Amino acid sequence: MMLRPFRRADLNILHEIDTACFPPGVSYSLEELEAFIAHRNSRSWIAEEEGAIIGFLIAQRTPARLMHVITIDVKEMWRRRGVGQALMDVAEEWGRREELKLATLETAEDNHPAQAFYRKRGYKKLGWVEHYYANGASAWVMGKRLR
């Protein structure tokens, strides 16, 4: 597996992966995904295996010196094989280099596998946002100190 920066030609594939990973109302539209990637404070990493994209992560630096994970998506057949770990490692290392204080993210209230994954990485539940997603689902806000 190789990690690399985002390329413009990746956008449609990333959108396909996002809509496969998350239900409508949780997944992003193509325009939303493009806006997150293009934001001047965002960084995106692509995971590839033999030239095929198998996952990606988008993170954004906030004015409060936080790293906000916008999304982490791994194709189902590649889950539990270290792809998510590698993507989170590179994003958290970027956050440390940028001297950001905290990494934050949201995860659906019923996404127990994701919550367990983040807990193993040292993330803790910081808050609850009712009706966070467009489909009405609520989310946990989770965070981890980077320094």
Instruction: Check whether 147 has a pLDDT greater than 90.
Output: no
- pLDDT score for 120: 97
Of the candidates 85, 86, 78, the one whose C-alpha atom is nearest the C-alpha of residue 21 is: 78
User: What is the mean pLDDT of the segment spanning 15-20?
Assistant: 97
- pLDDT score for 142: 98
User: What is the mean pLDDT of the segment spanning 30-43?
Assistant: 97
User: What is the mean pLDDT of the segment spanning 82-102?
Assistant: 97
Q: What CA–CA distance (Å, rounded) separates 145 from 103?
A: 6
- Please report, for the chain, the start and end positions of each structural domain, with discontinuous segments joined by +: 2-145
pLDDT digit string (tens) for 54-72?
999 999 999 999 999 999 9
CATH of segment(s) 2-145 = 3.40.630.30
Of the candidates 9, 10, 30, the one whose C-alpha atom is nearest the C-alpha of residue 19 is: 30
- pLDDT score for 113: 94
Cα 135 to Cα 32, 112, 132, distances in angstroms = 16, 18, 8
User: What is the mean pLDDT of the segment spanning 29-53?
Assistant: 97
How many C-beta neighbours within 10 Å does residue 116 have?
10
Work out the pLDDT band at 25, boundaries 50, 70, 90.
confident
